[in-house]
Amino acid sequence: MAHGTGEIRDYARGVRGSHQLAQASVDLVSRMHNTPSNPEVLTTRKRVTVREKAEETSLPERLVGAARNRWIAGKLEDFASLLEQQGDGPFRPRAYRKAAATVASLPEPIDTILARQGRDGLISLPTIGAGIAAAIAEMAASGRWQQLDRLRGELTPEALVRTLPGIGPQLARRLCRDGKIETLEDLEAQLHLGSLDVAGLGPRRRAMLAASLAERLGRPMRAPAPQRANMPPISLLLQVDRMYRDRAAKGELKLMAPKRFNPAGEVWLPILHARHDAWHFTALYSNTRLAHELGRTRDWVVIYFHKEMEAEGRCTVVTETQGPRKGQRVVRGREDEVVEQVTPPVQPTRPFPKGRTKRSHALRNA
């Protein structure tokens, strides 16, 4: 069941009195197929080659026109189904299904629209906002969709970096190992700051990567970091963090089997989908190399967030290990903020339910 505005608010009230709230792609991927009942089908499936398995989830180059549109629409449908299976809905699954229907019924190829108008051409279509347009553009350009891979537990930094033109397996490994790259945003930031020191990455390739990232991430070259005014309030992020950790500890969340650092395929990673007003959240424990090395896979919580019709952002909530806030939960990069400073509380964007006032409907600060 999706966690809506009222549930997050009521949850915050329940814990407030006893706790502090301020505390892509050559890698093989599995498609979540049902096991065939026909032995002949099973035998045939066992003979599928590595190349065919990879093409099953990446966008085959031979697909053009309407077939290419249908492939992208199918991925949007898959995403909607995964959201439902993991407890989100009904609003987000419905939005992605509407977008899938729009893409499948287009009279011209997605690539033609992108070449002529860019993402604005997609956003001008009915049922497609900036967030879904970014997903469609990513699939059209790279044949992968990192949000879908994440929900399937298949996303690895190396596979993600390899979706960029000019990046082969060896350079991808060096970028992720030596440059500590986990996301495309990490790579963009290090390129902008000039702090990326990786063999095989000269000025020409850096410029090419910066241009590719600007296109992929949908912003101008050398765009500034997201402003805090466009991010959720710190109190809201900390409440989502607390809800996630408490419900994960109680076994109330759906579990995933992440591909990374999980050779046995253990189903262990809890995932939470929640919302408040226009904000949508997905939370899960960090499965990065550093989190494993430091033993923080049950402490660091990665929260992905976005508003309706907007692109996605992310942050990490951790337990501070030093300084005056030692032992408290903080949002990395926003350590200077405290819950009491976040005023006023987030206001609803929909009419208030009968019997509720504006104040009681808003998510209150802890």
Q: How far apart are CA 138 and CA 136, in angstroms?
A: 5
pLDDT value for 10? 53
Query: Do both 128 and 235 map to the same domain?
Result: no
pLDDT value for 58? 55
Query: Do both 55 and 110 map to the same domain?
Result: yes
For residue 205, is pLDDT > 90?
no
For residue 100, is pLDDT > 50?
yes
Assigned domain for 149 exists: no
State the residue for tokens 């035998």.
43
Q: What is the pLDDT of residues 28-39, one digit of tens each?
A: 233 333 333 333
Task: Output the CA–CA distances (angstroms, integers) from residue 118 to 80, 138, 216, 307, in the order listed.
Answer: 24, 12, 11, 21
| Range(s) of the domain holding residue 171 | 162-217
Assigned domain for 146 exists: no
Half-sphere exposure of 238 (CA within 13 A, CB side): 27
For residue 49, is pLDDT > 90?
no
Cite the DSSP H helix spans in 143-221. Answer: 146-152, 157-161, 169-178, 184-193, 203-217
pLDDT value for 36? 37
Burial of 299 (0-12, 13-18, 19+ CB in 10 A): middle
Query: Do both 238 and 341 map to the same domain?
Result: yes
Question: pLDDT tier at 348 (50, 70, 90 boundaries)?
Answer: very low
pLDDT value for 263? 84
Q: How far apart are CA 254 and CA 269, in angstroms?
A: 8
Q: What is the mean pLDDT of the chain?
A: 75
Assigned domain for 253 exists: yes
Query: Do both 239 and 346 map to the same domain?
Result: yes
Average pLDDT in the 122-135 region?
Answer: 91
Rg of the chain in Å (alpha carbons): 21
Claim: this prediction has a pTM higher than 0.85: no
For residue 24, is pLDDT > 70?
no
The last residue of one of the domains, among 198, 217, 236, is 217
In CATH, what number is assigned to the domain containing residue 179?
1.10.150
Assigned domain for 53 exists: yes
Contact of 318 with 332, CB cutoff 8 Å: yes
- H/E run at residue 79: helix 65-85
Low-confidence winner among 37-41, 154-158, 215-219, 273-277 (lowest mean pLDDT) = 37-41
Q: How far apart are CA 84 and CA 164, in angstroms?
A: 30
Higher pLDDT: 192 or 247? It is 247
Question: Cβ neighbours of residue 344 under 8 Å, at least 6 residues apart?
Answer: 362
pLDDT value for 147? 86
Higher pLDDT: 205 or 250? It is 250
Query: Do both 308 and 184 map to the same domain?
Result: no
The pair of structure tokens assigned to 179 is: 């440059």
For residue 115, is pLDDT > 90?
yes
Query: Do both 12 and 76 map to the same domain?
Result: no
pLDDT value for 17? 44
Q: What is the pLDDT of residues 276-329, one digit of tens each?
A: 888 889 999 999 888 888 999 999 999 999 886 676 788 999 999 988 889 999
Assigned domain for 223 exists: no
In CATH, what number is assigned to the domain containing residue 99?
1.10.150.110
For residue 134, is pLDDT > 50?
yes
Query: Do both 180 and 264 map to the same domain?
Result: no
Query: Do both 247 and 279 map to the same domain?
Result: yes
Query: Do both 15 and 120 map to the same domain?
Result: no
Assigned domain for 155 exists: no
pLDDT value for 328? 92
Helix axes 130-142, 65-85, angle to 10 degrees: 120
Question: Cβ neighbours of residue 25 under 8 Å, at least 6 residues apart?
Answer: 54, 57, 58, 142, 143, 144, 149, 159, 160, 162, 163
- CA angle 165-167-171, nearest 5°? 170
Query: Do both 59 and 134 map to the same domain?
Result: yes
How many structural domains compose the chain?
3
In the chain, the amino acid numbered 169 is P
Q: How far apart are CA 318 and CA 300, in angstroms?
A: 5
Average pLDDT in the 98-119 region?
Answer: 94
SS3 275: strand
Query: Do both 135 and 43 map to the same domain?
Result: yes
Q: What is the pLDDT of residues 207-246, one digit of tens each?
A: 888 888 877 766 544 334 445 557 899 999 999 999 999 9
Is the torsion defined by CA of 171, 68, 54, 133 positive or negative?
positive
The last residue of one of the domains, among 111, 141, 171, is 141
Query: Do both 119 and 192 map to the same domain?
Result: no
Assigned domain for 298 exists: yes
pLDDT value for 168? 87
Higher pLDDT: 141 or 318? It is 318
Q: How far apart are CA 134 and CA 123, in angstroms?
A: 9
pLDDT value for 220? 46
Assigned domain for 72 exists: yes
The last residue of one of the domains, among 217, 237, 252, is 217
Question: pLDDT tier at 361 (50, 70, 90 boundaries)?
Answer: very low
pLDDT value for 248? 95
